[in-house]
Amino acid sequence: MADLIAVAFDDESKAFDMRGELVRMQKDYLLDMEDVVVVTRNDEGKVKLHQAVNLTAAGAVGGSFWGLLIGLLFLNPLLGLAVGAGAGAIGGALSDIGIDDDFMKELGEKLTPGSSALFVLVRKATGDRVIERLREVDAEGRILRTSLSKEDEATLREVLDRTRDKVA
């Protein structure tokens, strides 16, 4: 079972910084994320989701391949490529994996303008090593929602609310 963690930041860039560090941790096999999304609310109050994976583009690439292959069978590869890319893009745009977009937009509406939030769906993590690396990130935040145990949530709160630890 995956754990959901949603953290708000006062600055738009801090959520992107934290996402970058989480991706690096995943590359180091300290973390296995199912989904990671940055939500920003601009000064006009518009909420935008910054998905890590562009499903529309991925669908178009996959559709192009299958369309080209089918087009080769019917002696019209360019038509097959075009139709496949279009169908794949539509399919990708309509699909949703990971964290529910409506849920993220709903919480994004509660953010103050100019701020951001990071939504992470974690399959598994090496807890102590992840916490150690998070302490090095210059991103103070507050937890919006989590499905972590009370102990793990308290540890995460301590890490995110620790500008005093950086002074040492």
Q: How confident is the model at residue 115 (pLDDT cuts 50, 70, 90)?
A: very high
For residues 39 and 117, the answer to whether their CB atoms sit within 8 Å is yes
SS (H, E, C) 23-48: HHHHHCCCEEEEEEEEEEECCCCCEE
In DSSP terms, 155 is beta-bridged to: none
For residue 40, pLDDT beyond 90: yes
Identify which of 116, 98, 120 has the alpha carbon closest to the alpha carbon of residue 107: 116
Supply the pLDDT for residue 35.
85
129-154 mean pLDDT: 80
For residues 138 and 17, the answer to whether their CB atoms sit within 8 Å is yes
Q: How far apart are CA 128 and CA 84, in angstroms?
A: 46
Supply the pLDDT for residue 131.
80
Supply the pLDDT for residue 38.
92
Q: How confident is the model at residue 148 (pLDDT cuts 50, 70, 90)?
A: confident
Q: What amino acid occupies position 136?
A: E
Residue-wise pLDDT for 47-102, tens only, equals 998 886 544 445 555 666 666 656 666 766 666 656 666 666 565 555 455 688 88
Residue-wise pLDDT for 10-39, tens only, equals 988 888 988 988 889 889 988 888 888 999
Supply the pTM of this predicted model: 0.67
